[in-house]
Amino acid sequence: MTSDPQPAPDRPLVLVVDDDPSVLAMLGRVARREGFDVLTCTGGRQAMERMAEARVDLVLVDLMMPDVGGLEVIKAIRATDQSCRVVIMSGQATIDSAVEAVKLGARDYLTKPFDLHRLRDLLADIKRDVS
């Protein structure tokens, strides 16, 4: 898990959760450019621990990870925080998994490889909501 030294009070905080380091790096760069402070985790269990420690505005979470998957992470978030925005990501997107994620409280569903324009638009919309 990595983080910026001290999140700025006027910047929303995003937690990016993926077991692929290149995805973490790319999403972190894009989110920082869009005005977010960024925390990263390489698994669902680590993300749930981090959510208990920090007030996060947005979670970008991979659907399929080796330890705890994205749907379980959404359930854990919703058990304690109804206001956190969650976006699920997957390279193996199916209609069923997208519907399940939205039913659990995900705001949106991103497919891999990412459409950078869509990702930036989504981050900008969420930043406006948070501000």
Give the C-alpha separation, 13 to 49, whole Å: 16
Give the C-alpha separation, 4 to 64, whole Å: 26
Q: Residue 6: its pLDDT value, please? A: 54
> What pLDDT digit, counting tens, does each position of 12-35 carry?
999 999 999 999 999 999 999 999
Its pTM stands at 0.91
> What pLDDT digit, counting tens, does each position of 28-54 carry?
999 999 999 999 999 999 999 999 999
Fold of 2-130: Rossmann fold (3.40.50)
Cβ atoms of 71 and 96 within 8 Å: the answer is: no
Q: Residue 5: its pLDDT value, please? A: 46
Residue-range domain boundaries for the chain: 2-130
